[in-house]
């Protein structure tokens, strides 16, 4: 097992602990992460509302639920996140609902800026994109796979927008949020179940 995995697990939070910490910081007028700005605080406040809504509305379909219950080995989902990240706000509540449905999956969340060594092992196209889910063998903490920062169709939406417009602006972010709203977490659940079922 790599020491950076062990070090990050020591700094990890349960979903509930993560939510409580982000909420506490917001009450102090702060966002998570090394950088503080009005924009990041604004995004964090929007994400708090999103996550509260998704905690109440995200459902795990029977077919996914059944698949999660039949995962035989024990795994840890180690997830890199930050409170200001719009993708993380959409995806973490889904991961939590899946974790609840899966007796053999335990989710641990770490903050990206506090775990740079871990983050830099799991870059996306050279960038520190989050959320990033790392699948660990619970017995050994060996890395078995990873996923993120967003489902394939959402990734393509952003790739296509950037190819057409040259930038990722507020319109792109709005389009992405609309995609998440329409998808209702199903793409994330399907991709992650397939990932878990493919592990040996």
Domains of the chain: 3-197 (3.40.30.10)
pLDDT at 48: 98
Residue 1 has pLDDT above 90, yes or no: no
Do the beta carbons of residue 85 and residue 128 sit within 8 Å?
A: no
**pLDDT tens per residue across span 56-98:** 999 999 999 999 999 999 999 999 999 999 999 999 999 999 9
Sort 190 into a burial class: Cβ within 10 Å, 0-12 / 13-18 / 19+. middle
CA angle 96, 189, 71 (to 5 degrees): 80
What are 107's two structure tokens? 């989710």
pLDDT at 97: 98
Residue 160 has pLDDT above 90, yes or no: yes
Compute the average pLDDT of residues 98-122. Answer: 97
Closest CA to 65 of 186, 200, 180, 199: 186
The separation between CA 192 and the C-alpha centre of its own chain, rounded to angstroms, equals 11
pLDDT at 2: 76
pLDDT, mean over the chain = 96
Q: How confident is the model at residue 200 (pLDDT cuts 50, 70, 90)?
A: low
Q: What percent of the chain has pLDDT over 70?
A: 99
């Amino acid at each position: 097992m790599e020491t950076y995995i062990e070090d990050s697990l020591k700094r990890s939070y349960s979903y509930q602990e993560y939510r409580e910490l982000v909420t506490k910081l917001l009450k102090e007028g702060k966002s998570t992460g090394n950088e503080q700005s009005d924009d990041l605080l604004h995004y964090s406040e929007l994400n708090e509302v999103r996550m509260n809504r998704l905690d109440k509305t995200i459902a795990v379909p029977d077919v996914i639920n059944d698949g999660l219950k039949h995962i035989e080995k024990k795994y840890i989902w180690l997830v890199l996140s930050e409170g200001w990240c719009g993708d993380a706000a959409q995806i973490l509540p889904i991961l939590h609902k899946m974790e609840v449905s899966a007796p053999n999956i335990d989710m641990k969340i770490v903050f990206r800026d506090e775990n740079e060594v871990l983050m830099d092992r799991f870059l996306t196209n050279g960038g520190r994109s989050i959320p990033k889910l790392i699948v660990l063998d619970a017995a050994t903490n060996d890395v078995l796979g990873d996923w993120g920062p967003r489902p394939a169709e959402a990734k393509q939406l952003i790739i296509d927008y950037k190819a057409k417009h040259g930038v990722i602006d507020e319109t792109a972010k709005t389009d992405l949020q609309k995609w998440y709203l329409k998808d209702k977490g199903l793409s994330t659940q399907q991709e992650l179940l397939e990932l878990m079922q493919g592990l040996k």
